[in-house]
Amino acid sequence: MTRLIGVVFGATSPFEADLIDRMYISADAAGYRLALGLHTSSRDRPRAVADLAEQGCAAVIVIGAEYDDRFDVAVPIVVVGERLPHLTAVTVGTDEWRGAQMAVQHLIDLGHTSIAHVEGGDHPCASERLRGYLGAMAAAGYRDECRTLVGDYTEEAGALAAERLLAEGDLPTAVFLANDRMAIGFIDVMRHSGIRIPEDMSVVGYDDGPHAVLGHLNLTTVRQDVPGLAAAAVDAVKSLVGDSTDHPDTGGCGFYGARALEPELMVRATTAPPVDALTGSSQPGLLRWGLLADDCDDNLVHELGTPGVLTGPIEVVASSSTAVAWEIADRLGIMVSYGIYEDLIDDPEIDAIFIALPPDARDTWAHKAREAGKVVRTRDSR
């Protein structure tokens, strides 16, 4: 039997490129070699599958098959992505409904009720991500607040969705996009239009691709288990070609044939409570505030005392040194101070943090505070 496995993928998807990289590792461990087949706008998936079958592949793995795909070949097919009822294939994928539900529930838990969704069109798994969005909104009692825009898994689609929202004028406080590439284009347009992320609008993507963790983006997103998907796809091939005693699942109940892997929500710097949460309309009672600052001039004192800036008293201040913290605390009449920022961020008694640091330090510590579950307001977000 040949030890060659064909893999059909698209060249424009960073997620698929990462999956191919991990698939080489899993194939090497199982004693297989990979032959890659590219699908493009002029060369569809069925053509790529047929070419790999003719090259003698024992099986073909198709990343992201779509509803109109038909594979008329004699070799077994494994689909990574969405289960398609008309295909006799083992399917492995992420529980896409669960991933979308987690993303939207995160926004709801922050206090958002006006949450839009930019769909993935006819692309793989987009329908399940849409279903997860609609289900989470309905379960929270926000069925009438659902708002969807058409997309297609590209940066350009995300940018166009942002332009449509800006043109309509009635901006949501949060947006869940069906993949990270759309989120990148969306955030770029919003920021260039003066919309602050996440102060004015929270954004969540899907996939957790390599660009999601870049410092200027630091995207909250849903992570797919790429190593797990690669290993499951190779395991499915082993069962189909007789290299494993496991019975191949080519049908039956359930949305996925072989395995559905659990997603993971990665909370980063593009999500925060909506502005009305900071004014107290979505959170009962007053928040207990802490201050991160290394100096305290008259402007800062005036700002902290301006009605509406904070929704509760400042109870503790933290600075880069104990002496500076004491000085600021004394001027503001605060009884508690910390000599390092981390102590304030880790204080379980503090609900929210006002950050009055220079921009380079401000963004870093705002991210750390949000990761710790604090409401964050920065001096530039008036």
Radius of gyration in angstroms for the set of CA atoms belonging to the chain, rounded to a whole number: 25
Q: Among the listed ranges 228-242, 254-268, 307-321, which one has the minimum average pLDDT value?
A: 254-268
* Res. 377 pLDDT band, cuts 50 70 90: confident
pLDDT at 311: 67
Query: Higher confidence at residue 323 or residue 117?
Result: 117
Whether residue 382 is predicted with pLDDT greater than 50 in this model: the reply is no
Cβ–Cβ contacts within 10 Å for residue 273, how many? 26
With 0-12 CB in 10 A as exposed, 13-18 as middle and 19+ as buried, what is 170?
Answer: exposed
* Res. 258 pLDDT band, cuts 50 70 90: low
The model carries a pTM of 0.69
Q: Where are the alpha helices (DSSP H) in the chain?
A: 14-30, 45-54, 96-110, 126-139, 155-168, 180-192, 226-241, 275-278, 298-304, 322-332, 341-345, 359-371
Dist. CA 215–CA 231, nearest whole Å: 30
Dist. CA 117–CA 137, nearest whole Å: 11
* Res. 224 pLDDT band, cuts 50 70 90: very high
Contact assessment for residue 381 and residue 196, using Cβ atoms and an 8 Å cutoff: yes
pLDDT at 13: 85
Whether residue 24 is predicted with pLDDT greater than 90 in this model: the reply is yes
Q: At what angle do helices 155-168 and 180-192 cross, to 10 degrees?
A: 40
pLDDT at 249: 56
129 by DSSP, 3-state: which?
helix
* Res. 359 pLDDT band, cuts 50 70 90: confident
Closest CA to 77 of 152, 172, 5: 5
Query: Higher confidence at residue 21 or residue 297?
Result: 21
Whether residue 280 is predicted with pLDDT greater than 70 in this model: the reply is no
With 0-12 CB in 10 A as exposed, 13-18 as middle and 19+ as buried, what is 333?
Answer: exposed
Read off the pLDDT of residues 40-90 as tens digits, 9 standing for 90 and up.
Answer: 989 999 999 999 999 999 999 999 888 889 999 999 999 998 878 778 788
Residue 236 DSSP label: H
Contact assessment for residue 65 and residue 86, using Cβ atoms and an 8 Å cutoff: no
Section 229-239 average pLDDT = 93
Q: Is the dihedral of CA 74, 76, 80, 86 positive or negative?
A: positive
**Structural domains of the chain sorted by starting position, each given as residue range(s) with its CATH number in brackets:** 4-94+225-261 (3.40.50.2300), 96-223+266-274 (3.40.50.2300), 289-372 (no CATH)
Read off the pLDDT of residues 144-168 as tens digits, 9 standing for 90 and up.
Answer: 999 999 999 999 999 999 999 999 9
Query: Higher confidence at residue 256 or residue 18?
Result: 18
Section 170-178 average pLDDT = 96
* Res. 260 pLDDT band, cuts 50 70 90: confident
Read off the pLDDT of residues 289-331 as tens digits, 9 standing for 90 and up.
Answer: 899 999 888 888 888 877 667 767 788 999 988 888 888 988 8
Strand partners, 261: 94
Closest CA to 235 of 249, 223, 253, 225: 249
Strand partners, 222: 265
Task: Dig out the tokens for 325 from the structure.
Answer: 């913290």
Read off the pLDDT of residues 326-345 as tens digits, 9 standing for 90 and up.
Answer: 889 888 888 778 888 999 99
Q: How far is CA 375 from CA 110, 137, 203, 355, in A?
A: 9, 23, 16, 11
Section 359-379 average pLDDT = 85
Whether residue 279 is predicted with pLDDT greater than 60 in this model: the reply is no
